């Protein structure tokens, strides 16, 4: 292994000068620089970044915690985080957590272990153990930014959208088309994210004095087959909604499959609206009306924010909402008379 010492010897300067040539060339005479560079090439020297990081007490690495990397909602966000990170000389340590607190904790610990400088989590909960009563940030926590799902009360910086408003807008759109019998096909009952979307849904219905019975609210997972099963169940229970509000696009696509099997045409017989605006939403059997979440921007903002925290600034706002957008495609129409 050729080290900085060898280069120093070969070029007849001190190790300090070699180090400087590499990190702050402006502080080294041109002629010396050239000698050093030549020695580096001759010897095939490559900086031991691990040693450098150790010495500088920085890892230039951030942990990205994602519940499921094989999920188009998350992966698009991660993608943009990587782009920003790379442009700033940082690397991404990928942590797939499956929402498992133990795995989240293990990955977050890397910061204390000096293997990472900060954490971005796309999960629902803080990735560190915190007792339920805590309402403040502990300065001992690692530099942390949450994205999207986190809705807890501890004021950790979080980038996302206003889910209540978005769901309200989506539902209002259906109401505007004339729908009065709308079912909610949801995610897990205890996810705040799901609760928020349900809340916006209900709030919109209340404008028209519509109260929704339990037979119109289904819970499940944010997954294709859950959307399928929930929709089947909905109609098994005897409901005959003219529109479906699906808590995300995957659920909506699962629902579409169920509707096809039930011989219900979209949007002639029933309207359907999703949430997220995955790229694939435009390639469904019927292009899906949905809420666009600005996932690229979310990733970019989160990484930028974390970077500024790592540089010593403490964020003023802790709950940053980015603009969402209702994307109207072909899966929604006025109900038949």
Partner DNA sequence: CTGTTAGCGCGTTCAG
Partner DNA sequence: CTGAACGCGCTAACAG
At its nearest, how many Å lie between DNA and the CB of residue 102?
22
Q: Which does 56 bind (CB under 5 to 8 A by kind): a copy of itself, DNA, none?
A: DNA
**Site for a copy of itself (CB under 8 A): which residue of 79, 206, 240, 318?**
79
Interacting residue with DNA among 38, 41, 42, 55 (CB under 7 A): 55
Does the protein bind DNA through residue 60 (CB under 7 A)?
A: no
Dihedral sign from CA coordinates of 9, 12, 16, 21? negative
With CB under 7 A as the rule, give the number of residues binding DNA: 27
Residue 239 vs 310, nearer CB to DNA? 310
Q: How far is the CB of 79 from DNA (least distance, A)?
A: 30
**Interacting positions 230-289 with a copy of itself (CB under 8 A):** 253-254, 256-257, 260, 279-280, 282-285
* Binding of residue 54 to DNA (CB under 7 A): yes
What is the crossing angle of helices 30-43 and 4-11, to 10°? Answer: 120
Smallest distance, Å, CB 261 to a copy of itself? 11
228 touches a copy of itself (CB under 8 A): yes
Of 171 and 226, the one with the shorter C-beta distance to a copy of itself is: 226
51 lies in the binding site for DNA (CB under 7 A):
yes
Residues near 198 by beta carbon (within 8 Å), at least 6 away in sequence? 167, 184, 186, 217, 247
28 binds DNA (CB under 7 A): yes
- The verdict on 56 binding DNA (CB under 7 A) reads yes
Among 78, 145, 291, 333, binds a copy of itself (CB under 8 A): 78
Give residues in contact with DNA (CB under 7 A).
1, 3-5, 12-17, 19-20, 22-23, 27-29, 31-32, 47-48, 51-52, 54-57
Give residues in contact with a copy of itself (CB under 8 A).
46-51, 53-54, 59, 61, 64, 68-72, 75-76, 78-79, 82-83, 86, 91-96, 103, 109-110, 112-115, 224, 228, 253-254, 256-257, 260, 279-280, 282-285
């Amino acid at each position: 292994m050729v080290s900085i010492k060898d280069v120093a010897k070969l070029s007849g300067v001190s190790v300090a000068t070699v180090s400087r040539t590499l990190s702050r060339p402006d502080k080294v005479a041109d002629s010396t620089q050239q000698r050093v560079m030549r020695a580096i090439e001759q010897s095939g020297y490559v900086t031991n970044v691990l040693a450098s990081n150790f010495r500088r007490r920085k890892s230039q690495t951030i942990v990205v915690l994602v519940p499921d990397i094989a999920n188009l909602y998350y992966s698009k966000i991660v993608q943009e985080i990587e782009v920003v990170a790379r442009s700033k000389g940082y690397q991404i340590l990928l942590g797939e957590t499956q929402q498992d607190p133990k795995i989240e904790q293990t990955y977050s610990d890397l910061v204390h272990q000096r293997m990472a400088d900060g954490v971005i989590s796309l999960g629902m909960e803080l990735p560190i153990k915190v007792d339920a009563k805590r309402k403040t940030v502990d300065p001992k926590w690692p530099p942390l930014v949450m994205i999207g799902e986190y809705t807890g009360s501890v004021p950790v910086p979080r980038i996302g959208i206003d889910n209540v408003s978005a769901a309200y807008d989506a539902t209002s759109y259906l109401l505007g088309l004339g729908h009065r019998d709308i079912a909610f096909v949801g995610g897990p009952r205890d996810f705040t994210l799901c609760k928020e979307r349900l809340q916006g849904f209900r709030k919109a219905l209340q404008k028209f004095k519509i109260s929704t019975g339990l037979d119109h609210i289904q819970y499940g997972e944010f997954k294709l087959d859950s959307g399928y099963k929930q929709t089947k169940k909905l109609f098994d229970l005897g409901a005959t909604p003219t529109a479906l509000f699906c808590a995300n696009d995957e659920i909506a696509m699962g629902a579409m499959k169920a509707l096809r099997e039930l011989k219900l045409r979209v949007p002639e017989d029933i309207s359907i609206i999703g949430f997220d605006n995955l790229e694939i939403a435009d390639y469904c059997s019927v292009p899906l009306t949905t809420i666009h979440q600005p996932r690229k921007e979310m990733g970019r903002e989160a990484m930028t924010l974390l970077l500024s925290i790592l540089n010593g600034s403490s964020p003023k706002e802790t709950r940053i909402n980015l603009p969402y957008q209702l994307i109207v495609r072909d899966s929604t129409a006025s109900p038949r008379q």
